Amino acid sequence: MQMRPSARGTTYPLVLAALLTAMTAAGAWIRIPGPVVPITAQTLFTYLAGALLSRRQAFLSQAAYLLLGLAGVPVFALGGGLAYLMQPSFGYLFALPFAALTIAQVEHSRRAITVGRRMVSLALGSVCVFSLSAIWLYFYFDCVMKTPTSLRTLSSLWVLPFVPGEAVKIVAAAFISIALEKRMKEIVI
């Protein structure tokens, strides 16, 4: 069920969008030390935003998270502020609104009613995160670090180590979002 205005108005979807923004911020502090940057739960909540909200709400919930961090609120795994733009890991954060939008777009065009189908749309969101972060890294190493690096090297160091964790988050988000949708149908209707 795509969260749209109902007889109850637009309050419910807006509250859910704000909650997912806050949960994405909290997800930055749920972390496992990684090889280069920590593995966090941020993308889990980005995936849920994409699966549960409309396209616009999904994008804006994650854009709000990104803007809060850039404004200096310490919602990123390593803090916050404009200096984060110079971090090699910023590409992951930059990708979050687009990943949520991608998932919501797929879900809007064809609502997933099974966990397997939902995992496909979530996996597309993950591809968005990894693609945009790899592009960011490529330009970061080339322009900022002045050490051109191949996309293959960047992928092996900055993408592949995170794939197993993302797979776990995709499975979790698929089960959680399907269960939440069923519950939300009972509440909203």
Domain 11-188 has CATH 1.10.1760.20: yes
pLDDT-derived band at 189, boundaries 50, 70, 90: low
The partner residues of 31 in beta bridges, in order of sequence, read 40
Read off the DSSP letter of residue 8. Answer: T
Q: Among 31-40, 118-127, 161-170, 175-184, name the one with the lowest average pLDDT.
A: 31-40
Give pLDDT, residue 48.
Answer: 97
- The predicted model gives 116-122 an average pLDDT of 94
pLDDT-derived band at 11, boundaries 50, 70, 90: confident
pLDDT in tens, 144-188: 889 888 878 887 888 888 899 999 999 999 999 999 988 877 776
The partner residues of 32 in beta bridges, in order of sequence, read 39
Domain ranges of the chain: 11-188
**The two three-digit tokens of residue 151, written as one number:** 């996309």
**C-alpha to C-alpha distance for 63 and 60, rounded to whole angstroms:** 5
Give pLDDT, residue 153.
Answer: 85
Give pLDDT, residue 158.
Answer: 80
**C-alpha to C-alpha distance for 157 and 162, rounded to whole angstroms:** 9
